[in-house]
A and B are shown apart, each in its own frame.
Chain A
Amino acid sequence: MTPERFETLAEAYGGDVTRWPAAAREAAAALMAEKPAWAGEVLARADDLDVLLDAFVPPQASADLAGRILVGAPRSRPRWAGWLIPGGMGAGLAAACAAGVLVGAQLHGASSQPSASDADALVAVVGDDDLGLYLDEEA
Protein backbone atom coordinates (compact mmCIF):
# COMPACT_ATOMS: atom_id res chain seq x y z
CA MET A 1 0.00 0.00 0.00
CA THR A 2 1.29 3.42 -0.90
CA PRO A 3 1.33 6.20 1.69
CA GLU A 4 -1.14 8.11 -0.50
CA ARG A 5 -3.59 5.22 -0.41
CA PHE A 6 -3.16 4.97 3.35
CA GLU A 7 -4.02 8.67 3.70
CA THR A 8 -7.02 8.30 1.39
CA LEU A 9 -8.37 5.45 3.50
CA ALA A 10 -7.83 7.36 6.75
CA GLU A 11 -9.57 10.37 5.25
CA ALA A 12 -12.53 8.25 4.15
CA TYR A 13 -12.99 5.74 6.96
CA GLY A 14 -11.38 7.48 9.94
CA GLY A 15 -8.59 6.77 12.36
CA ASP A 16 -9.67 3.30 13.46
CA VAL A 17 -8.11 0.83 11.04
CA THR A 18 -10.48 -1.93 12.16
CA ARG A 19 -13.25 0.05 10.42
CA TRP A 20 -11.38 0.17 7.13
CA PRO A 21 -12.28 -2.25 4.33
CA ALA A 22 -11.15 -5.72 5.38
CA ALA A 23 -9.15 -6.19 2.19
CA ALA A 24 -6.94 -3.18 2.99
CA ARG A 25 -6.16 -3.85 6.63
CA GLU A 26 -3.24 -6.20 6.20
CA ALA A 27 -1.38 -3.89 3.84
CA ALA A 28 -2.17 -0.96 6.12
CA ALA A 29 -0.68 -2.82 9.08
CA ALA A 30 2.49 -3.45 7.09
CA LEU A 31 2.82 0.25 6.28
CA MET A 32 2.19 1.17 9.91
CA ALA A 33 5.01 -1.14 10.94
CA GLU A 34 7.28 0.39 8.33
CA LYS A 35 6.47 4.06 9.08
CA PRO A 36 5.02 4.09 12.60
CA ALA A 37 5.48 7.80 13.38
CA TRP A 38 4.06 9.01 10.09
CA ALA A 39 1.16 6.52 10.16
CA GLY A 40 0.41 7.48 13.75
CA GLU A 41 0.10 11.14 12.76
CA VAL A 42 -2.20 10.36 9.87
CA LEU A 43 -4.44 8.20 12.06
CA ALA A 44 -4.45 10.70 14.93
CA ARG A 45 -5.62 13.46 12.58
CA ALA A 46 -8.45 11.25 11.33
CA ASP A 47 -9.28 10.17 14.87
CA ASP A 48 -9.66 13.79 16.01
CA LEU A 49 -12.53 14.17 13.57
CA ASP A 50 -14.05 10.82 14.61
CA VAL A 51 -14.16 12.03 18.22
CA LEU A 52 -15.84 15.29 17.19
CA LEU A 53 -18.42 13.43 15.10
CA ASP A 54 -19.22 11.18 18.04
CA ALA A 55 -20.17 14.26 20.06
CA PHE A 56 -23.40 14.44 18.07
CA VAL A 57 -25.84 11.96 19.52
CA PRO A 58 -29.45 12.41 18.36
CA PRO A 59 -31.92 13.02 21.19
CA GLN A 60 -33.82 10.14 22.78
CA ALA A 61 -37.01 9.13 21.03
CA SER A 62 -40.42 9.84 22.57
CA ALA A 63 -41.43 7.21 25.09
CA ASP A 64 -44.53 6.24 23.12
CA LEU A 65 -42.89 6.00 19.69
CA ALA A 66 -42.49 2.22 19.69
CA GLY A 67 -46.13 1.84 20.76
CA ARG A 68 -47.32 4.10 17.95
CA ILE A 69 -45.29 2.08 15.45
CA LEU A 70 -46.61 -1.26 16.70
CA VAL A 71 -50.22 -0.14 16.24
CA GLY A 72 -49.77 -0.60 12.49
CA ALA A 73 -48.13 -4.06 12.65
CA PRO A 74 -49.96 -6.95 10.97
CA ARG A 75 -52.26 -8.87 13.30
CA SER A 76 -53.34 -12.45 12.97
CA ARG A 77 -57.10 -12.97 12.63
CA PRO A 78 -58.63 -14.54 15.70
CA ARG A 79 -59.35 -18.24 15.15
CA TRP A 80 -63.12 -17.75 15.43
CA ALA A 81 -62.99 -15.25 12.55
CA GLY A 82 -62.14 -18.02 10.11
CA TRP A 83 -64.97 -20.14 11.46
CA LEU A 84 -67.51 -17.30 11.37
CA ILE A 85 -66.65 -15.93 7.95
CA PRO A 86 -65.80 -18.81 5.67
CA GLY A 87 -65.78 -17.56 2.08
CA GLY A 88 -69.22 -16.44 0.94
CA MET A 89 -70.50 -15.67 4.43
CA GLY A 90 -68.05 -12.79 4.55
CA ALA A 91 -69.67 -11.21 1.51
CA GLY A 92 -73.10 -11.66 3.09
CA LEU A 93 -71.97 -10.01 6.28
CA ALA A 94 -70.44 -7.14 4.30
CA ALA A 95 -73.73 -6.67 2.43
CA ALA A 96 -75.64 -6.61 5.72
CA CYS A 97 -73.25 -4.00 7.06
CA ALA A 98 -73.68 -1.92 3.91
CA ALA A 99 -77.46 -2.10 4.33
CA GLY A 100 -77.06 -0.91 7.92
CA VAL A 101 -74.99 2.03 6.79
CA LEU A 102 -77.61 2.88 4.16
CA VAL A 103 -80.41 2.82 6.71
CA GLY A 104 -78.35 4.87 9.12
CA ALA A 105 -77.72 7.47 6.45
CA GLN A 106 -81.37 7.63 5.58
CA LEU A 107 -82.40 7.96 9.22
CA HIS A 108 -79.86 10.70 9.72
CA GLY A 109 -80.81 12.56 6.59
CA ALA A 110 -84.60 12.25 7.07
CA SER A 111 -86.54 15.47 7.72
CA SER A 112 -89.23 15.68 10.40
CA GLN A 113 -91.72 14.82 7.67
CA PRO A 114 -90.40 11.76 5.92
CA SER A 115 -91.80 11.22 2.46
CA ALA A 116 -93.95 8.21 1.71
CA SER A 117 -91.20 6.60 -0.33
CA ASP A 118 -88.71 7.11 2.54
CA ALA A 119 -91.12 5.55 5.00
CA ASP A 120 -91.76 2.57 2.73
CA ALA A 121 -88.07 1.97 2.34
CA LEU A 122 -87.52 2.08 6.12
CA VAL A 123 -90.43 -0.22 6.85
CA ALA A 124 -88.99 -2.69 4.42
CA VAL A 125 -85.72 -2.79 6.36
CA VAL A 126 -86.42 -2.05 10.03
CA GLY A 127 -90.04 -3.17 10.43
CA ASP A 128 -93.26 -1.39 11.48
CA ASP A 129 -92.65 -1.20 15.21
CA ASP A 130 -89.16 0.24 15.01
CA LEU A 131 -90.25 2.75 12.41
CA GLY A 132 -93.18 3.81 14.59
CA LEU A 133 -90.80 4.57 17.42
CA TYR A 134 -88.64 6.59 15.09
CA LEU A 135 -91.52 8.61 13.72
CA ASP A 136 -92.94 9.29 17.23
CA GLU A 137 -89.62 10.67 18.38
CA GLU A 138 -89.33 12.89 15.35
CA ALA A 139 -92.87 14.27 15.59
Chain B
Amino acid sequence: MGDSDEELLSRVASGDPAAARAVVGRKLPRLLSLAGRMLGDAQEAEDVAQEAFLRVWKQAPKWRPGEARFDTWLHRVALNLCYDRLRRRRELAYAEPPEQADEGPGPDRGLQALDAARRVNAALQALPDRQREAIVLCHYQELGNIEAAAVMGVSVEALESLLGRGRRALRAALIDLKEA
Protein backbone atom coordinates (compact mmCIF):
# COMPACT_ATOMS: atom_id res chain seq x y z
CA MET B 1 0.00 0.00 0.00
CA GLY B 2 1.33 3.46 -0.90
CA ASP B 3 1.59 6.61 1.16
CA SER B 4 -1.62 8.19 2.38
CA ASP B 5 -2.65 11.51 0.83
CA GLU B 6 -1.61 13.27 4.04
CA GLU B 7 1.85 11.69 4.03
CA LEU B 8 2.34 12.67 0.40
CA LEU B 9 1.23 16.24 1.10
CA SER B 10 3.71 16.53 3.92
CA ARG B 11 6.50 15.41 1.58
CA VAL B 12 5.23 17.79 -1.11
CA ALA B 13 5.47 20.63 1.41
CA SER B 14 9.12 19.81 2.03
CA GLY B 15 9.82 20.04 -1.69
CA ASP B 16 9.99 16.34 -2.56
CA PRO B 17 9.50 16.13 -6.36
CA ALA B 18 8.66 12.40 -6.25
CA ALA B 19 5.80 13.11 -3.84
CA ALA B 20 4.50 15.90 -6.11
CA ARG B 21 4.56 13.50 -9.06
CA ALA B 22 2.73 10.88 -7.00
CA VAL B 23 0.00 13.36 -5.99
CA VAL B 24 -0.47 14.40 -9.61
CA GLY B 25 -0.57 10.77 -10.77
CA ARG B 26 -3.13 9.92 -8.11
CA LYS B 27 -5.42 12.95 -8.33
CA LEU B 28 -5.18 14.37 -11.86
CA PRO B 29 -7.40 11.75 -13.56
CA ARG B 30 -10.12 12.29 -10.95
CA LEU B 31 -9.90 16.05 -11.25
CA LEU B 32 -10.16 15.87 -15.04
CA SER B 33 -13.10 13.50 -14.77
CA LEU B 34 -14.87 15.87 -12.38
CA ALA B 35 -14.19 19.08 -14.28
CA GLY B 36 -14.71 17.48 -17.69
CA ARG B 37 -18.17 16.34 -16.74
CA MET B 38 -19.11 19.50 -14.88
CA LEU B 39 -18.01 21.77 -17.73
CA GLY B 40 -18.32 19.49 -20.78
CA ASP B 41 -15.16 21.02 -22.20
CA ALA B 42 -11.77 19.29 -22.19
CA GLN B 43 -9.66 22.45 -22.39
CA GLU B 44 -11.51 24.15 -19.57
CA ALA B 45 -11.22 20.97 -17.51
CA GLU B 46 -7.44 21.08 -17.94
CA ASP B 47 -7.39 24.71 -16.87
CA VAL B 48 -9.39 23.85 -13.76
CA ALA B 49 -7.06 20.96 -12.96
CA GLN B 50 -4.04 23.25 -13.26
CA GLU B 51 -5.61 25.89 -11.03
CA ALA B 52 -6.65 23.26 -8.49
CA PHE B 53 -3.11 21.93 -8.27
CA LEU B 54 -1.75 25.44 -7.74
CA ARG B 55 -3.97 25.51 -4.66
CA VAL B 56 -2.74 22.08 -3.60
CA TRP B 57 0.88 23.27 -3.76
CA LYS B 58 -0.03 26.35 -1.76
CA GLN B 59 -2.06 24.40 0.78
CA ALA B 60 0.41 21.54 1.29
CA PRO B 61 2.56 23.25 3.98
CA LYS B 62 -0.57 24.31 5.86
CA TRP B 63 -2.40 20.98 5.66
CA ARG B 64 -3.40 19.63 9.06
CA PRO B 65 -4.03 15.88 8.99
CA GLY B 66 -7.33 14.83 10.49
CA GLU B 67 -9.14 18.13 9.89
CA ALA B 68 -10.64 17.11 6.57
CA ARG B 69 -10.14 14.43 3.97
CA PHE B 70 -7.83 15.73 1.27
CA ASP B 71 -9.98 14.18 -1.46
CA THR B 72 -13.09 15.94 -0.15
CA TRP B 73 -11.24 19.27 0.04
CA LEU B 74 -9.86 18.81 -3.48
CA HIS B 75 -13.31 18.03 -4.90
CA ARG B 76 -14.66 21.19 -3.27
CA VAL B 77 -11.80 23.31 -4.66
CA ALA B 78 -12.29 21.92 -8.17
CA LEU B 79 -16.07 22.38 -8.00
CA ASN B 80 -15.66 26.01 -6.92
CA LEU B 81 -13.37 26.59 -9.89
CA CYS B 82 -15.95 24.94 -12.16
CA TYR B 83 -18.69 27.16 -10.75
CA ASP B 84 -16.56 30.27 -11.40
CA ARG B 85 -16.33 29.24 -15.03
CA LEU B 86 -20.01 28.37 -15.33
CA ARG B 87 -20.87 31.79 -13.89
CA ARG B 88 -18.57 33.52 -16.39
CA ARG B 89 -20.16 31.55 -19.21
CA ARG B 90 -23.61 32.68 -18.14
CA GLU B 91 -22.50 36.30 -17.98
CA LEU B 92 -21.03 36.00 -21.47
CA ALA B 93 -24.12 34.24 -22.80
CA TYR B 94 -26.25 37.01 -21.35
CA ALA B 95 -24.09 39.66 -23.00
CA GLU B 96 -23.78 37.77 -26.29
CA PRO B 97 -26.54 35.16 -26.69
CA PRO B 98 -25.37 32.21 -28.82
CA GLU B 99 -26.93 32.00 -32.28
CA GLN B 100 -27.84 28.34 -31.86
CA ALA B 101 -28.07 26.76 -28.41
CA ASP B 102 -30.36 23.79 -29.11
CA GLU B 103 -28.54 20.51 -28.48
CA GLY B 104 -31.55 18.25 -28.08
CA PRO B 105 -32.66 15.48 -30.39
CA GLY B 106 -34.74 16.31 -33.43
CA PRO B 107 -36.02 14.68 -36.61
CA ASP B 108 -32.92 15.69 -38.58
CA ARG B 109 -30.45 14.63 -35.90
CA GLY B 110 -30.30 10.93 -36.67
CA LEU B 111 -26.53 10.89 -36.87
CA GLN B 112 -26.16 12.88 -33.68
CA ALA B 113 -28.47 10.47 -31.85
CA LEU B 114 -25.91 7.74 -32.52
CA ASP B 115 -23.22 9.72 -30.82
CA ALA B 116 -24.13 8.63 -27.31
CA ALA B 117 -21.21 10.29 -25.57
CA ARG B 118 -21.99 13.65 -27.08
CA ARG B 119 -25.65 13.32 -26.27
CA VAL B 120 -24.99 12.35 -22.68
CA ASN B 121 -22.61 15.28 -22.31
CA ALA B 122 -25.21 17.66 -23.74
CA ALA B 123 -27.91 16.25 -21.45
CA LEU B 124 -25.63 16.59 -18.43
CA GLN B 125 -24.79 20.18 -19.31
CA ALA B 126 -28.49 20.97 -19.68
CA LEU B 127 -29.20 19.91 -16.07
CA PRO B 128 -29.35 22.48 -13.29
CA ASP B 129 -25.82 22.80 -11.86
CA ARG B 130 -26.57 21.21 -8.50
CA GLN B 131 -28.26 18.17 -10.06
CA ARG B 132 -25.30 17.73 -12.40
CA GLU B 133 -22.91 18.11 -9.47
CA ALA B 134 -24.73 15.41 -7.49
CA ILE B 135 -24.64 12.98 -10.42
CA VAL B 136 -21.00 13.69 -11.20
CA LEU B 137 -19.98 13.14 -7.57
CA CYS B 138 -22.01 9.98 -6.99
CA HIS B 139 -22.07 8.26 -10.36
CA TYR B 140 -18.80 9.29 -11.98
CA GLN B 141 -16.57 10.09 -9.01
CA GLU B 142 -18.11 7.24 -7.00
CA LEU B 143 -18.17 9.17 -3.74
CA GLY B 144 -20.30 7.69 -0.98
CA ASN B 145 -23.52 9.52 -0.15
CA ILE B 146 -22.16 11.03 3.07
CA GLU B 147 -18.98 12.32 1.45
CA ALA B 148 -20.85 13.64 -1.62
CA ALA B 149 -23.32 15.44 0.64
CA ALA B 150 -20.40 16.91 2.62
CA VAL B 151 -18.70 18.14 -0.56
CA MET B 152 -21.96 19.77 -1.66
CA GLY B 153 -22.77 21.12 1.79
CA VAL B 154 -26.23 19.53 1.83
CA SER B 155 -27.98 16.77 3.79
CA VAL B 156 -28.04 13.21 2.49
CA GLU B 157 -31.80 13.61 1.91
CA ALA B 158 -31.22 16.69 -0.22
CA LEU B 159 -28.49 14.85 -2.14
CA GLU B 160 -30.88 11.98 -2.88
CA SER B 161 -33.50 14.42 -4.09
CA LEU B 162 -31.01 16.13 -6.43
CA LEU B 163 -29.85 12.75 -7.73
CA GLY B 164 -33.38 11.53 -8.34
CA ARG B 165 -34.47 14.68 -10.16
CA GLY B 166 -31.30 14.77 -12.19
CA ARG B 167 -31.52 11.15 -13.24
CA ARG B 168 -35.18 11.47 -14.19
CA ALA B 169 -34.35 14.47 -16.38
CA LEU B 170 -31.47 12.60 -18.00
CA ARG B 171 -33.66 9.58 -18.69
CA ALA B 172 -36.24 11.82 -20.37
CA ALA B 173 -33.56 13.58 -22.43
CA LEU B 174 -31.90 10.35 -23.53
CA ILE B 175 -34.95 8.13 -23.99
CA ASP B 176 -34.44 7.85 -27.75
CA LEU B 177 -30.87 6.60 -27.21
CA LYS B 178 -32.14 3.75 -25.09
CA GLU B 179 -34.71 2.81 -27.70
CA ALA B 180 -32.19 3.02 -30.57
| Distance in angstroms between the alpha carbons of A59 and B32 in the assembled complex | 9
Contact in complex: B120, A55 (CB < 8 Å): yes
- Asked if B130 is at the interface (CB within 8 A of a chain A CB), the reply is no
B residues at A contact (CB < 8 Å): 12-17, 20-21, 24-25, 28, 32-33, 36-37, 42, 45-46, 49-50, 53-54, 57, 60-61, 116-117, 120-121, 124, 135, 138-140, 142, 144-146, 156, 159-160, 163-164, 167-168, 170-171, 174, 177-178
* Nearest A residue (CB) for B50: A69
| Distance in angstroms between the alpha carbons of A62 and B139 in the assembled complex | 25
A49 in contact with B167 given A68-B50, A69-B50 (CB within 8 Å): yes
| Distance in angstroms between the alpha carbons of A46 and B42 in the assembled complex | 28
Chain B residues contacting A49 (CB-CB under 8 Å) are: 167, 170-171, 174
Query: What 0/1 readout, one digit per residue, does chain A (23-53) give for beta carbons within 8 Å of chain B?
Result: 0000000000000000000000010111011
Interchain Cβ contacts under 8 Å between A and B, 20 examples: A8-B160, A12-B160, A46-B167, A49-B170, A53-B170, A55-B120, A56-B120, A57-B117, A58-B36, A59-B36, A59-B42, A61-B42, A65-B28, A66-B21, A66-B25, A69-B24, A73-B57, A76-B14, A76-B16, A77-B15
| Distance in angstroms between the alpha carbons of A58 and B37 in the assembled complex | 7
Contact in complex: A11, B164 (CB < 8 Å): yes
Contact in complex: A58, B178 (CB < 8 Å): no
Query: What 0/1 readout, one digit per residue, does chain A (67-104) give for beta carbons within 8 Å of chain B?
Result: 01110111111000000000000000000000000000
- Asked if A108 is at the interface (CB within 8 A of a chain B CB), the reply is no
Contact in complex: B120, A58 (CB < 8 Å): no
| Distance in angstroms between the alpha carbons of A125 and B17 in the assembled complex | 41
Q: Which of A8, A12, A48, A65 has the most CB of B within 10 A?
A: A12
Q: Which of A19, A21, A55, A58 has the most CB of B within 10 A?
A: A58
| Distance in angstroms between the alpha carbons of A57 and B127 in the assembled complex | 18
Q: Which of A8, A9, A12, A66 contacts B24 (CB 8 A)?
A: A66
Contact in complex: A74, B120 (CB < 8 Å): no
| Distance in angstroms between the alpha carbons of A51 and B139 in the assembled complex | 11
Chain B residues contacting A77 (CB-CB under 8 Å) are: 15
* Nearest B residue (CB) for A57: B117
